[in-house]
Structure 1
């Protein structure tokens, strides 16, 4: 249950709306102004009693030693302590960045021929390899990472592992190929995450039927039944797919995205290269390439993830840095009653300590 602040208080829009599990206890905060009034009444009563004594020393003793502000500081701190403890009793909650329970990340990386283009220095492939290696360094050591390389087909370059050296070796082994099968990359990534779900067998059956010239209208072999879950709800794994072109063969990436969404797996997409389309030439031959941003955005949206565009090597590095923090830290609504209780205890101790130091008594 969330506590809604009255409109006239105008809680700043830039700050997260505070919430409380037991908001009914907030009414106890009305005791604070009553305590302030009681304190003021006691101070006035003390002054009236003090004027009855003839000795000025006795009057000073009654009023307290030192500057006037010292007399009021311990009670003020005690009032703050009570306020903090009353807030703690309402069990406040807030969005707090906590370590994610992400356990496996699949890097699906485009190795089609257009990745040799030098519009991203030194070229797209090397920039992607360098950014991926930096990404591995930033990840916690307990996060497994797998590598899927794709062009006209997709294959697992490295099964999920904690060994960063094996991952770097797999990235360095990339060989450029023709065509781009972004959908296949997602399917193979899912098959790697769920090796017992029959996903890889379904994809092989699809390729076999196409190669034999059989009608694709024929229903595919029956899969093991599973219950679809909400998109993005599977928090133990994620897929990051980097590509510089549009799909030219293989599974439709939107169909593959639906498979990922039904399993709750987020597919973060990263686009590099030319958005409008351009003819890129190298080593005596040329090819027309265009980044299909709309499809990449759609894939990310359907899986409750995000799309990123990187026009330079530095942009690509920043994208991976952002993904590293996003995948290893997540904001969760967490009860913070203990923080308010601790603040209240510290204020109470400070109030008692200052009172003993200045007046040789506890308030």
Structure 2
């Protein structure tokens, strides 16, 4: 715990002074009590039979005073609070390798099922957008609160060839920041897509912006799920830098085969390998995390973990109000017990 106004902690010296004052009042009360002739009156004045109970209300009041004095120093602590995340972009791989059945019933179906479950767990006020990517990337659903529209978009996925993970990140950023003029069409040009290109050469910003610390933008996040390595499009690490400069976290999820596997269907085959090194680098660069899901159950657990991570956050917060509330509660409790037991307030 830290304090914004630590100099006010000196006021806590009043607590031991109050304890000494209370002890002096008790001794004074005891001396006055012996002047009475009636032994029963003496016992009553000295609190015979109530030796412990008579100290409880003053002790509670003393705790209330201590809490108020600590609150005056404006303490801060790391607490778990509801997240301010307002928009989440799901960037989902729809390349042909997602047809593989090493994750049952298939990688694509497992990803679709997990994504739908993830939507159910999110608070209703969080907007979700969907970007589908293979050899190119496109917005399958603009950010919306309608879970039905999102489920429909997920069910409409069509498998395509190649994998452009960098494009997925840039398209997601363009969806989050529509006013920054991040050119979607330039990122999807056929010739550039075939050979790859630099973001710095293609970026045409319409609105000035200043780079911020990675992970500092708390209003949006990107979750990218893929089962392969980039074969075309923007370098994902360049795209990650773009996201990092805007403070957007990119959580990456790898699904399928890490060591590589040859997958064939419809008369053709291809070798696919999960590029964990790049996915980890993307997550690290944007101050996010990488998750690996080798089975459908693992994938569901990943999305459950992401749901919890994106709906709550730990942050340093001033807790003076909580201490003031505790002080008020202790004061009321002390007064109530004093009235109940002794027919007076303290």
TM-score (norm 2): 0.91
Give the aligned partner of residue 189 of structure 1.
172
Give the aligned partner of residue 342 of structure 1.
325
Alpha-carbon deviation of 1:61?
A: 2.3
Give the aligned partner of residue 8 of structure 1.
none
Alpha-carbon deviation of 1:272?
A: 0.9
Q: Does 1:292 align with 2:275?
A: yes
Whole-Å separation in 2 of the counterparts to 1:344 and 1:216: 59
Answer whether contact 2:12 2:66 (CA < 8 A) is retained: yes
Whole-Å separation in 1 of the counterparts to 2:262 and 2:238: 29
Answer whether contact 1:230 1:262 (CA < 8 A) is retained: yes
The count of residues paired between Structure 1 and Structure 2 equals: 345
Answer whether contact 1:271 1:309 (CA < 8 A) is retained: yes
What SS does the aligned partner of 1:107 have?
Answer: strand
Answer whether contact 1:65 1:359 (CA < 8 A) is retained: no
Identify which of 224, 228, 231 aligns with 2:211.
228
Alpha-carbon deviation of 1:60?
A: 1.3
What SS does the aligned partner of 1:68 have?
Answer: coil
Identify which of 40, 56, 75 aligns with 1:92.
75
Unaligned regions of 5+ residues in structure 2, if any? none
Whole-Å separation in 1 of the counterparts to 2:203 and 2:290: 33
| CA deviation profile, 1:86-121 (whole Å, cap 9, x unmatched) | 111112222233333322211110111221222222
Give the aligned partner of residue 88 of structure 2.
105
Whole-Å separation in 2 of the counterparts to 1:182 and 1:131: 20
CA pair 217-69 structure 1, distance change in 2 beyond 3 A? closer
Identify which of 64, 73, 77 aligns with 2:47.
64
Alpha-carbon deviation of 1:287?
A: 3.1
Answer whether contact 1:149 1:185 (CA < 8 A) is retained: yes
Give the aligned partner of residue 6 of structure 1.
none
Whole-Å separation in 1 of the counterparts to 2:197 and 2:15: 77
| CA deviation profile, 1:255-300 (whole Å, cap 9, x unmatched) | 1111112222211111111222233456665432211111011111
Whole-Å separation in 2 of the counterparts to 1:219 and 1:359: 82
| CA deviation profile, 1:150-177 (whole Å, cap 9, x unmatched) | 1111121112222211111111111112
Q: Does 1:73 align with 2:83?
A: no
Unaligned regions of 5+ residues in structure 1, if any? 1-17
Answer whether contact 2:112 2:155 (CA < 8 A) is retained: yes
Answer whether contact 1:64 1:359 (CA < 8 A) is retained: no
Matches within 5 A, 1:173-322: 173-201=156-184, 203-204=186-187, 207-209=190-192, 219-220=201-202, 222-224=204-206, 226-281=209-264, 286-322=269-305
Q: Does 1:361 align with 2:344?
A: yes
CA pair 355-343 structure 1, distance change in 2 beyond 3 A? same
